[in-house]
Amino acid sequence: MNALQQNELLEIDEIESQEQTQFEITDLDSLNWAFRKLSALKSKEKEIRQLANVERDRIDQWEKSELTTIQNSTSFFEGLIQRYHAKKLEDDPKAKTISTPYGKSKTRRSKETPEKVNEDQLLDYVIENDLAEFIQNSVKWADLKESLKIVEISGEKVVVNDNGQIVPGVTVKPESISYSVEV
């Protein structure tokens, strides 16, 4: 914003303080005067927005750097807690939750289950084996999964149907333990 525009803004303040006087554009000079005031206001608005955006960017960068440090530290401590809990779980399989006054570490065991990895192969399998009850524009995975079994063949775990036939497009998702930390 230049000095002329600064003066225009000062005049606007004076006019607005004199509310009794109603300004009216009556000729080209008064129109030009109004445009000068409008130009000064737009310039000031642009200046304010630019400053605000610079500050927002600076604050966003500050926030990101501060949170990165905190997230790294959080991950570090959650990893320590998880390793400690895993050791305790080895010693005592019933130690699913460890509680302190400041937080809890919880485990959740998920059993091995069939996992769909190739929808097309699985759909072909269901069609070839006349298992139409498991088709609904795609495989009714939840229902089909209930009819499948996990067996070990030649030292490898595979998914089979009720007839013992290996189901293509499905693998065995291994058993896992998930940890969560509550503070």
133-171 residue pLDDT tens: 888 777 888 999 999 999 999 999 999 998 899 999 999
Task: State how far the Cα of 5 lies from the Cα of 140, in Å rounded to an integer.
Answer: 70
Please write the tens of the pLDDT for every residue from 27-70: 999 889 889 989 999 999 999 999 999 999 999 999 999 999 99
Nearest to 130 by CA among 87, 171, 162, 172: 162
- Single out the residue of 14, 8, 15 nearest to residue 35, CA to CA: 8
Q: What is the arithmetic mean of pLDDT over 111-122? A: 92
Instruction: Parse the chain into domains and list their residue ranges.
Output: 1-14+26-95, 110-182
Mean pLDDT, the chain, rounded, equals: 89
Angstrom distance (rounded) from CA 44 to CA 37:
11
The pLDDT of residue 71: 95
Contact in structure between 181 and 104 (CB atoms under 8 Å):
yes
Using CA atoms, how far residue 69 sits from 65, 76, 148, 182, in Å, is 7, 11, 46, 20
The answer to whether 160 and 166 have CB atoms below 8 angstroms apart is: yes
Average pLDDT over residues 93-122: 93
Q: What pTM was computed for the model?
A: 0.47
Token pair 């401590």: residue: 77
- pLDDT at residue 19 greater than cutoff 70: no
Q: What percent of the chain has pLDDT over 90?
A: 64
The two structure tokens encoding residue 6: 């600064």
